[in-house]
Structure 1
Amino acid sequence: MDIASGATDLTGKMLIAMPGMGDPRFEHAVVYMCAHSDEGAMGLIVNKPSGDVTMAALLEQLSISPAPGLDLRQVHFGGPVEAGRGFVLHSPDYKSGLTTLQVDEDFNMTGTLDVLETIARGNPPERWMAMLGYAGWGPGQLEGELAQNAWLVCDASPALVFDTADASKWEAALNSMGIPAHLLSAEGGTA
């Protein structure tokens, strides 16, 4: 993927929202980037549980009988675009015959019902998160936000995405870069 602006391809990276971003939907957000090209970018927020939607409730709404234990599994807010559309970010041990996107060697993303049916049968990918909606950027939009210091970019890891508590992911992502969260300010300056 050649990014015309000279920016780096961020596919498979994480975006960390800077304090004072201005959009409450992205406050302290950690976004896993599924795709980034000259045509735009698509990512999934991995640290914002939906609050009231469980996997069991989502499956029942789709007329899919859930496996035991899914009533405790939270669905996440993946972003403000197409909030009614579901995505599953997961380990590469699952591939849909239809539309699994292999992002890199550690992450796949599937946005079709077959992955939900597999999860409902009790045979999910080893690691997975379900999201409603996604974060999307048009051509050049993300590059503009990066130039305005709205986001930091760090490497993604399955441990950060799947094993770290949602409330700790923002700070853990910063720590992975060696940046203590308390040193960040919402106020910009000029030199």
Structure 2
Amino acid sequence: MTDSTSLRDQFLISMPHLDDRHFSRTLTYICDHSEYGAMGIIINRPAGILVHDLFDHIQLDYTQVAIDPMPVFKGGPIHPDRGFVLHGDDGRRWLSSHSVTNEIQLTTSMDILEAMAVGEGPKDCLVALGYAGWSPGQLEHEIYENTWLSCPANSDIMFRLPAEERLQAAAASLGVNLQLLTTHAGHA
């Protein structure tokens, strides 16, 4: 798969007719896409817990500094017991990171959470439990079947907008209002 056909560093916007409990009304950031499949993190579905709750669960002391409440997201149905941190690349290196772009990294090691607990984490970050995955050719087929729209990712949407505004903001970047689209799939 060439870089021009890769969806890495793209948003996947679920179409209104997608009736799947894991992906209905989701905005997914694609972290990797190759001939081996695709992997992404859903960035607009809060899990109902805050990062503080996660710190409590993994026994990290976060009481030394004031940390703004930050939601943990349901990143996808695969490995919902594993944590993933999408973040801006500020030059620091973590034990287990994958560079999505020169500006965005995905980290799975505890050292980033330890840094966040003491107020030394990345400025732009999003914590998720689980991820979304597609087997080789599956995502391309789903796009062909009008399940998803894709557009270039945008850090402001990913890190700065409230979760409930992200899906429509991504669609609007394409000039699309999802509320005006039909809930039925079709091909022209």
TM-score bracket, normalised by the shorter chain, equals over 0.9
Calculate the TM-score normalised by the size of structure 1. Answer: 0.91
Aligned to 2:154: 157
Calculate the TM-score normalised by the size of structure 2. Answer: 0.93
- The Cα shift of 1:138 comes to 1.0
> Aligned-pair RMSD on alpha carbons?
1.8
- The Cα shift of 1:180 comes to 1.7
| Cα distance change on mapping 1:189 and 1:144 into 2, 3 Å | closer
| Cα distance change on mapping 1:48 and 1:94 into 2, 3 Å | farther
| Cα distance change on mapping 1:105 and 1:84 into 2, 3 Å | same
- The Cα shift of 1:70 comes to 4.2
Q: Which runs of no fewer than 5 residues in structure 1 stay unpaired?
A: none
Aligned to 1:114: 111
Aligned to 2:185: 188
Paired amino acid for 2:51: M
- The Cα shift of 1:134 comes to 0.3
- The Cα shift of 1:69 comes to 4.2
* One of 19, 22, 26 as aligned partner of 1:22: 19
Residues in 2 aligned to 1:87 and 1:69: alpha-carbon distance in whole angstroms: 22
Matches within 5 A, 1:37-186: 37-51=34-48, 53-67=49-63, 68-70=65-67, 72-93=69-90, 95-186=92-183
Aligned length: 187
> Could you say what secondary structure the match of 2:157 adopts?
helix
Residues in 2 aligned to 1:97 and 1:161: alpha-carbon distance in whole angstroms: 21
